[in-house]
Structure 1
Amino acid sequence: MLRASRFLKKGAGAIARTPSVAAAATAASIVSSSSHSRIQTRMYSYQNGPDTSEKETIVKLLYNIGSKKEVEQYLGHFSSVESQKFAVIKVGGAVISDDLATLASALTFLNRVGLYPIVVHGAGPQLNKRLEAANIEARYEDGIRITDGPTLAIAREVFASENRKLVEALERLGTRARPITGGVFVADYLNKEKYDRVGKIVRVNREVVESSIRAGCLPILTSLAETPEGQILNVNADIAAGELARVLEPLKIVYLNEKNGLYHGTTGKRIETIHLDEEYEDLLKEPWVRYGTKLKLKEIKELLDTLPRSSSVAIISAEHLHKELFTHSGAGTLIMRGHRLFSEQDLANVDSDRLRTLLIAHDPEIASGAATAASYWQKLAELKNEGGQYWIYGDEPYQLAAIVTRKPGQAIASVDKFVATKAATLGNITDNAWKLITRDHSQLVWSVPRTDDNLSWHFERADGSWSVGDDIVFWYGVEDWKKISDIVAAKGEKPAIAASAKQQPTGTGARSYSTMARKPASAFGGARRSYSTASSGAPLRVGLIGARGYTGRELIRLVDTHPRFELAYVSSRELAGKPVPNYTKASLDHVNLSAQQVGDLAREGRSNVDVWVLALPNNVAAPFVAAIDSATAGLSADQQPVVVDLSADYRFDKTGQWAYGLPELHRDSLLASTTGRIANPGCYATGSQLGIAPLLPYLDSTRLPSVFGVSGYSGAGTKPSPKNDPEFLRDNLIPYAPVNHIHEREIGHSLTRITKPEYPFSSANPLRVQFSPHVASFFQGIALTLHVPLRMSMNAKDMHDIYREFYQKERLVHVTESAPLVRDNAEKHYAVVGGFAVPPSDGLLEESSAGLAGRRAVLNVTMDNLLKGAATQAVQNMNIALGIDEYMGIPVQDTPTMSSSS
């Protein structure tokens, strides 16, 4: 039974669209103007395509995104059509204003492998800004911008300017681009009386686009249209991109957004795939699918219904465009028509001839002649006669088939066969089939040769695995792995290695996997960089740079008690040569490592140090990061060491290389990160964001939240100053940095990154916060009092309910009704939020008179600045990045977060 289970051999290709552990950033960054100028100099203008050797080099770099097989599969797929039918990419104005360098790099990369994406861009935020400066009110009707003469005049200037910016950015990277600000879209007035100069596209002049591609230039289009008489009309960029797609019928229609996809309104997780034929009707019934989301889905459905079934829509950020296009795992949200799936328990109910044809073409046993379809049908019939069961899964055109069997008296079912055509693979129908199978079967087992090209797919979906001879046996949903042992023993075979041992499957690059049972990656909402598990595996080695400070000391204590971590190096200039205190796992002395020495050690990758922690002052980390990046540039993604920076140096990163390490608010982006670079938040910023985040949907955008913060003097570091002098602080409270504190900017910047489209804040209109820090005479801990303006009235119970629901699954955030105290959670690893209050109707005079009663939330947050504000959070981030349990090694008090008292 076990050896009969084979997934997608030979013609089947790699499968499914799941979170991948491979790094997209390596390929994406090769044209970055900041760190790869040497490679840029080789990127020169060309007439009919890139130089062959250059293309081969870049294709090899693509292998860092995914497997060679899948990259070549997609390249072949994209190059199989005419150049103008590769992709239409719609770019929002915010992407141009906020992420121009990343966008230009992404488009250049595609062009370097011989592809010609057609870009249609908007400029909404830029236009609004110009209109505001000109004292012209931006007016909308039914969500459509009313475009009068003055508005249109400014719009033409803005569109031309933004178009020029993108073209120039591409040409600076050596990519030929042609600005096309008119002549493509012919339109009539949509409704002149209602919307004025707004157009409805009636014809697309494709020759303008195709001539640009024939000349070797990327066409960069604005969405302005003209009437046959020459009147300029404004057209929504989404609509313009859709109309262009209807004429060109491309393989891909890509909508770039800052959110990197569509997100589920209930779970908050990114939706990886939507197969419209299977899911559309049910999706529209979801309570969160409304307003703009519903309109977007309907527009995409109408568009794809008019295009070939091979066309698809991708919603993705510019920085992840390569991974979306060249890997089965994808990175954003993929939407396609797909096909309806079926599940039958009787061979008589399926088209056996079409199923036979599929198995002959793609099942290795039947294709090789070792078995026939007829003999296999007979085995299924005998199984049923003996009291067993079988299930046949497939899609309408029989591009995919899976057969699951269960013997009499057994609870565990076997995935006996799973085969798919290339079309099913590229269409990610395989992933939908797996969801259907696991919906019907809570416990599964299957077997795959160790040499299989698609082992990574199986490890992604399995809860555990066991090496048996030349095969690997996988299981799903089986908590007691001894049941798997019994199945193997019944076959008379002995496992080649213990189930708890770590192994390196062949044929999958340098990825390493643990074989003990674990939660599937999907349970955590995203990909992991490795598959090490909590209960087994070799120790994970930590290099700590900057051990003299208080945070460094706390990190050493946490590593000392962590089940999986051990210290490899502890670097401190002042303490070099002295023993490392509070560390009992080994006798270890401090060393003094320069940036170059750290780079030399990092060159060995994860075999030497799994994670480097930089516990350094601000503006000091950059040389160490540069040395690590340079030394490990040639390593595969899973061999790249993780880097956690505790300073503020990378918290405002715009390159997409650094994830922001506040898991309670940014867990999805941490899980999805493929770079292993994490910027650990500041202590004040952590507490302030935990306090404000649940109220983001209710904020009044006309008033600023304010935070009054008091920290213990350990927050001032170990360098002597009045702020950490106990005598100076005695009976004292010291205010400092009353304006523009770096945490003030960090709070607004990072909260803006998690706002949703319906919120009044965005990257173009970021949230701003007022913050006043103080230092007091206690040693460690932080107390914050937050005043948050609301756009609606609520009471203290409303607030408590909102916070209790928001943090109900977070083990390191406790919610209380009463105001938390610093002393109660000093030296604890969690933050506490409570003390909810709002001004009553007879409250502050200015609020009452302005009708603002009940529209200002007041609350308190406390936490330990050295732990959840620094060291504990660093360990939390290290655990996530290394693929082990998020809370491992963190003493967690499992008090329910909805507790009513502190």
Structure 2
Amino acid sequence: MFSACAVALRAGARRTVRRLPSKGRALPVAAGRQPRAFSSSAAPATDLSTRSMIVQTLSSVGSKREVQQYLSLFTSVSSQRFAVIKVGGAILTDYIDELCSSLAFLHTVGLYPIIVHGAGPQLNTLLEQAGIEPQFEEGIRVTDAKTLRVARDLFLKENLNLVNKLEEKGVHAQPLTTGMFRAEYLDKEKWGFVGKVTGVNKQSIETAISNGYLPILTSMAETDDGQILNVNADVAAAELARAIEPLKVVYLSEKGGLFDAAGQKISAINLDEEYDHLMSQEWVRYGTRLKIKEIKDLLDTLPRTTSVAIIHPGDLQKELFTDSGAGTLIRRGNKLLSATSLSNFKDLDALKSVLVRDREGPDSLTTVDKYLEFLGENPFKAYYDGPMNALAIVLPPSNGRQATLATLTITKSGWLTNVADNIFTTLQKEHPRLVWTVREDDENLGWFFDKADGSITRNGDVMFWYGIENGDEIVQLMKDFTQHGRAMLGDSNLESRLHRAASNAHIASKPAVQQARGYSTLARRPVVPSAPFSQTKGRGYVTQTNPNPPYGKKNASKSQPARVALIGARGYTGQELIRLLDSHPNMDLRHVSSRELAGKALEGYTKRDVIYENLSAEDVRDMEKRGDIDCWVMALPNGVCKPFVDAVYEGRKASNHKSVIVDLSADYRFDNSWTYGLPELVPRANIAEATNISNPGCYATAAQLGIAPLVEHLGGMPHIFGISGYSGAGTKPSPKNDVANLTNNIIPYSLTGHIHEREVSTQLGAPVAFIPHVAVWFRGIHHTISIPLNKTMTSRDIRQIYQDRYAGEKLVKVVGEAPLVKNIAGKHGVEIGGFEVDKAGKRVVVCATIDNLLKGAATQCLQNMNLALGYAEYEGIPVM
């Protein structure tokens, strides 16, 4: 059977068009191409150690894979064809430091964008000061002789200022202020000294780049007889792009992109598919409508590999080097065609070539011929673009099976024009339920994870599905795949006719699709088999699991659930964890230890009868020696669990068995030999490989998630005002959990030096101040966090940072208003909102809420257990 794992995606690029919720995208690199240290022009080579350092630095906004991939793409063309960046006057006044820092990064890694700038706002100010009222006709500045003199002097001044700022950062920049654009009068009687560009002096630009300089151009032009003319900077950038034909055209914008009717940033626009639809929308008007039309006019004259990005100057690195991007990406794309019979294809030889082009093995032609023979006799539907850069073939449901994605093959050009996501969007519309398989060792499995609702792994294959919500159907699907593998997906006739001919090969080589925003962002977490899919919100429990635990070291047996022992189960957290384990399909609670409750029956656990025990350290050591337990959960007060942890260590020495320890206390949170288990901020692969995991504190989890996206923007120490319900004070009677004492009251405590203050400061790498309080409600924490900023930012800027940072995180919800404790109690995640900025734009207040017993303790513990034992991260957890 030809599976979707037989997919040729040799140059992954993806970004979903923003009509549905936006996703990420990636730009491709030709198969087999290795990243180069410098461009092919004569520009000076970048030192490899320096490049490595910069790659590492850029990895803070994206994964190392993303950074290397984009560098390889951008350096695959001559330096002058990398990018044209248009810089508006407002950027030069308000964001010049961010701009220069971003350009310095690009210069260091051997990339040479061509900068063309305007100075409109500054010109308006100078004209008003000179008593000249700015005049515009049809949006074009009317330029008389006096205005032209002011504009010329201003442009030279702004150009020199930008060049000097770049030189201060060690970037060689070349001011190119005259003779770059040839022009004729646009309409002298109507607009005066305004030019229409007729030519671009590419030689001067190429010479500057060859000598290692960033070319900095003004949007001034000259006629053949030497008359200077004013040209709109957007127009100048567009004409420059037409002459250069770069991979990227970047418009820097204070807003950071285009926004839809709901005020949400449009992640991407595929013009061939979306233009007519967009232009028919009521909200697409005025400046937005004009900008989209102008960009379409520009891209229609450029190669399909060229794209336009509208971004904030501070996000330039993220836009260029991550799959998710930061602003609005606009491409031409390709329209899709479809076929339901071989006769629908104009050229069968071309179809055969498409199927053969990624096929490995000497029998490729024979196998493809048999495949075409099968398609000629059976129903199918194919989806492809005109040049056949992308092809997907779906087999309809049969014999009680789901529809199957049998073939998906994408070329580099197909990825550059975003056809892959277009095809999958169409598949989701036309096939509400779909199944496909992919090789487990595929280096870019994340793209498929992002498309699926569930997955299961067997013998090197991963089966994915979406749209199947019935639990019995999912169980049967998993059972069939586990028993029969890939064969169960296809029609039996197909298997019998093609299996021998296809042997062990597939119709195409493994995919090289890149990670996308919906799965995390890649920018911040690696693709790991233990977290294999993006669960749709509102579907309740995740039911899928991985029957072959990854990494080859865990004890989650294929034939039995993981065996769990809970040490210290009397407290609230222990009770919540017991409840979660009771609903977990692949964990079995075997032992529960509590000195006070020893001999009593455990309530709330229905899988087996469990009696509380009073396990000693020696009991724990002997159980570890025998390999009785796969995971020990230490739910003891601070300073108590060390003898039990030491006992597990002793048992490990005398056995090949290596269990996992998850400690809920603070005892090992500062021990570097333990892994800190906050999956949203710590690489999941680290947790999946760990045997000793320290579970973060409840206050600390909410505080870190509330501050982490702004760490690079901190202008001082964040102050955290935290209030917890009295369950956070534990079950042992004290004034902090005495309801009578708390009624009409709030109790501050540990006003300096609280252990969570140290924990948050250590993990974030930045000092924080934490002031805890306890109030009369039972469960739930609220943080009000005051964060100083190192630059001026808006509330929208900050909210976008949080939305991008936590996109795809199922247990983190970014909201607009300040979240409320009553809305988080009993839920398994964190809500973050507020984002109110002071008048100066240099301080923001962020609010975060968390259920201290769930995501603050038991839920997070189960996330860590799932990852470490080889199960899906959210297994047994109702997602938000």
Pairwise TM-score range, normalised by the shorter structure: 0.5 to 0.7
**2:420 aligns to what?**
430
Distance in 1 separating the partners of 2:118 and 2:7: 42
**1:141 aligns to what?**
137
Within a 5 Å distance, the mapping from 1:824-839 to structure 2 comes to none
Q: Offset of 1:442 from its aligned partner?
A: 0.9
**1:170 aligns to what?**
166
For the 8 Å contact 1:123–1:162, the answer to whether it is kept is yes
- Listed as ranges, the gaps of 5+ residues in structure 2 are 17-21, 28-41, 487-518, 547-570, 582-633, 640-663, 688-694, 708-713, 720-756, 768-781, 821-833, 864-872
- Listed as ranges, the gaps of 5+ residues in structure 1 are 25-45, 497-502, 524-530, 539-555, 566-584, 633-643, 688-741, 754-867, 891-902
Match of 2:154 among 152, 158, 163: 158
**1:487 aligns to what?**
477
**1:466 aligns to what?**
456
Within a 5 Å distance, the mapping from 1:192-591 to structure 2 comes to 192-265=188-261, 267-350=262-345, 351-363=347-359, 369=364, 372-382=367-377, 384=378, 389-408=379-398, 410=400, 412-490=402-480, 493=483, 509=526, 511=528, 514-515=531-532, 518-519=535-536, 588=637
Distance in 1 separating the partners of 2:66 and 2:846: 42
**1:8 aligns to what?**
7
Distance in 2 separating the partners of 1:298 and 1:105: 31
SS at match of 1:6: coil
Q: Offset of 1:73 from its aligned partner?
A: 4.5
Q: What's the CA shift string for 1:98-145, capped at 9, x where partnerless?
A: 322222222222222222110111222333333444444333221112
SS at match of 2:409: strand
Distance in 2 separating the partners of 1:295 and 1:237: 15
Distance in 2 separating the partners of 1:12 and 1:52: 26
Percent of aligned positions that are identical: 37
**2:15 aligns to what?**
17
Match of 1:611 among 689, 697, 701: 701
**1:796 aligns to what?**
none
For the 8 Å contact 2:792–2:841, the answer to whether it is kept is no
**Do the aligned partners of residues 588 and 396 (structure 1) sit closer, same or farther apart at CA in structure 2, a change above 3 Å counting?**
same
Count the aligned residue pairs.
620
**Do the aligned partners of residues 461 and 748 (structure 1) sit closer, same or farther apart at CA in structure 2, a change above 3 Å counting?**
farther
Residue 82 of structure 1 aligns with an amino acid whose one-letter code is S
Residue 381 of structure 1 aligns with an amino acid whose one-letter code is G
Distance in 2 separating the partners of 1:380 and 1:631: 61
Moved more, 164-173 or 395-404: 164-173
Distance in 2 separating the partners of 1:259 and 1:557: 46
Q: Offset of 1:246 from its aligned partner?
A: 1.4
Moved more, 445-454 or 288-297: 288-297
Q: Offset of 1:213 from its aligned partner?
A: 0.9
Q: Offset of 1:466 from its aligned partner?
A: 1.8
For the 8 Å contact 2:783–2:847, the answer to whether it is kept is no
Moved more, 610-619 or 154-163: 610-619
Residue 193 of structure 1 aligns with an amino acid whose one-letter code is E
For the 8 Å contact 2:806–2:812, the answer to whether it is kept is no
Distance in 2 separating the partners of 1:269 and 1:409: 44
For the 8 Å contact 2:382–2:394, the answer to whether it is kept is yes
SS at match of 2:703: strand
Distance in 1 separating the partners of 2:273 and 2:10: 22
**Do the aligned partners of residues 536 and 346 (structure 1) sit closer, same or farther apart at CA in structure 2, a change above 3 Å counting?**
closer
Q: Offset of 1:403 from its aligned partner?
A: 0.7
SS at match of 2:785: coil
Q: Offset of 1:317 from its aligned partner?
A: 2.6
SS at match of 2:14: coil
Q: Which has the higher contact order (CA 8 A, sep 6+)?
A: 2
Q: Offset of 1:557 from its aligned partner?
A: 11
Q: What's the CA shift string for 1:657-716, capped at 9, x where partnerless?
A: 99746x9xx874564599x99999997xx99xxxxxxxxxxxxxxxxxxxxxxxxxxxxx
For the 8 Å contact 1:246–1:306, the answer to whether it is kept is yes
**1:93 aligns to what?**
89
Distance in 2 separating the partners of 1:323 and 1:371: 46
For the 8 Å contact 2:43–2:209, the answer to whether it is kept is no
Residue 103 of structure 1 aligns with an amino acid whose one-letter code is L
Q: What's the CA shift string for 1:497-533, capped at 9, x where partnerless?
A: xxxxxx99x9x9464654577218xx9xxxxxxx998
Distance in 2 separating the partners of 1:289 and 1:355: 39
**Do the aligned partners of residues 418 and 871 (structure 1) sit closer, same or farther apart at CA in structure 2, a change above 3 Å counting?**
closer
Q: Offset of 1:272 from its aligned partner?
A: 3.2
SS at match of 2:325: coil
Q: Offset of 1:56 from its aligned partner?
A: 3.8
**Do the aligned partners of residues 348 and 631 (structure 1) sit closer, same or farther apart at CA in structure 2, a change above 3 Å counting?**
farther
Distance in 2 separating the partners of 1:187 and 1:434: 45
Q: Offset of 1:261 from its aligned partner?
A: 2.6
Q: Offset of 1:655 from its aligned partner?
A: 8.3
**1:898 aligns to what?**
none
Distance in 2 separating the partners of 1:424 and 1:308: 13
Q: Offset of 1:249 from its aligned partner?
A: 1.7
For the 8 Å contact 1:657–1:677, the answer to whether it is kept is no
SS at match of 1:435: helix
SS at match of 2:309: strand
Q: Offset of 1:393 from its aligned partner?
A: 0.8
Q: Offset of 1:303 from its aligned partner?
A: 1.6
Distance in 1 separating the partners of 2:815 and 2:337: 47
Distance in 2 separating the partners of 1:627 and 1:417: 49
**1:119 aligns to what?**
115
TM normalised by structure 1 equals 0.59
For the 8 Å contact 1:316–1:333, the answer to whether it is kept is yes
User: Is 2:745 aligned against 1:746?
Assistant: no
SS at match of 2:786: coil
SS at match of 1:154: helix
For the 8 Å contact 1:659–1:679, the answer to whether it is kept is no
**Do the aligned partners of residues 73 and 255 (structure 1) sit closer, same or farther apart at CA in structure 2, a change above 3 Å counting?**
same
For the 8 Å contact 1:152–1:234, the answer to whether it is kept is yes
